[in-house]
Amino acid sequence: MRSALSPSPRPTARDAIVDAAIRLWSRNPGATFSEVALNAGVGRATLHRHFRNRDDLLTVLAEICIEETNEAVAAAIDRSASASRQLQRMFEAVIPLGDRYSFLYRADIGDEHTTAEYRQQLDRVGTLVGELKAEGAVAADVPTAWVVAQIDQLIWTAWNEVASGRVAAADAAHLAARTLLHGLGKEEQP
């Protein structure tokens, strides 16, 4: 009998499927189950054994994404630092993840639990925005929802520009933070 600590007996197949699905659906959201199985190097039957249907797999992917993002953010954030510093660290931690999870932007997740967790992530960003405002880094008259939307978009835009080679990976996080806080005009205090 296997240890109670590893609920999945042979995780290789499952992991291969998850990886293949992420890789494949990033380029083609309509890729079929057969293609995913082929790309994962497993039989289509095996895929159905692990994931009942498309939505099931998609939900699992979304939850993995959310979990990994939470971990990355938690590891990067230093709550004793200034809010601006936290913002910068968050950009650094999350932008590289865009590579793995950009496809979720086009997919629509039906699962309630997943969407709830996503909303919770946005809420946490909202809290950070509140701190940014309190700190004076963000103007109080700007709607918080607008700032949150900008942060969200900046992450994907930054990843996209890095992925297409138009912006250096090392610059992305700083560029994103600068864009949000100071805009792209000439800096008054260099």
Partner DNA sequence: TTCATATGATACAAAGATGCCTCATACGAT
Partner DNA sequence: ATCGTATGAGGCATCTTTGTATCATATGAA
Q: In the set 23, 26, 29, 33, which binds DNA (CB under 7 A)? A: 33
CA distance 111 to 106: 15
- Residue 50 interacting partner from its own copies, DNA, none (CB closer than 5 to 8 Å by kind): DNA
Please name which of 14, 94, 26, 10 lies closest in space to residue 56, comparing C-alpha atoms.
14
Task: Catalogue the E-assigned strands of the chain.
Answer: none
What is the C-alpha separation between 184 and 124, in angstroms, rounded? 26
Of positions 81, 134, 142, 163, contacts its own copies by CB under 8 A: 142
d(C-alpha 4, C-alpha 99), whole Å: 33
Cα 181 to chain centroid, rounded = 21
Dmax (CA) for the chain in angstroms is 67
Q: Which is nearer to its own copies, 20 or 180 (CB)?
A: 180
Among 74, 75, 149, 170, binds its own copies (CB under 8 A): 149
Does residue 173 belong to the site contacting its own copies (CB under 8 A)?
no
Q: Are 97 and 72 in contact (CB under 8 A)?
A: yes
The answer to the question of residue 54 lying near DNA (CB under 7 A) is yes
Tally of CA atoms within 13 A in the half-sphere of 35 that contains its CB: 12
Q: In this chain, which stretch among 42-50, 74-82, 152-160, 179-187 interacts with DNA, using CB under 7 A?
A: 42-50
Q: Note whether 48 binds DNA by CB under 7 A.
A: yes
Our finding on whether 178 is near its own copies (CB under 8 A) is yes
Q: In whole angstroms, how close is the CB of 157 to DNA at the nearest point? A: 30
H/E stretch holding 118 reads helix 112-135
Q: Which two tokens stand for residue 20?
A: 């293949």
Contact call for residue 41 and DNA (CB under 7 A): yes
Q: How far is the CB of 12 from its own copies (least distance, A)?
A: 32
Contact residues for its own copies, defined by CB under 8 A: 30, 106, 136-139, 142-143, 145-147, 149-150, 153-154, 156-157, 160-161, 166-167, 175, 178-189
Contact residues for DNA, defined by CB under 7 A: 1-2, 9-10, 12-14, 32-34, 41-46, 48-50, 52-54
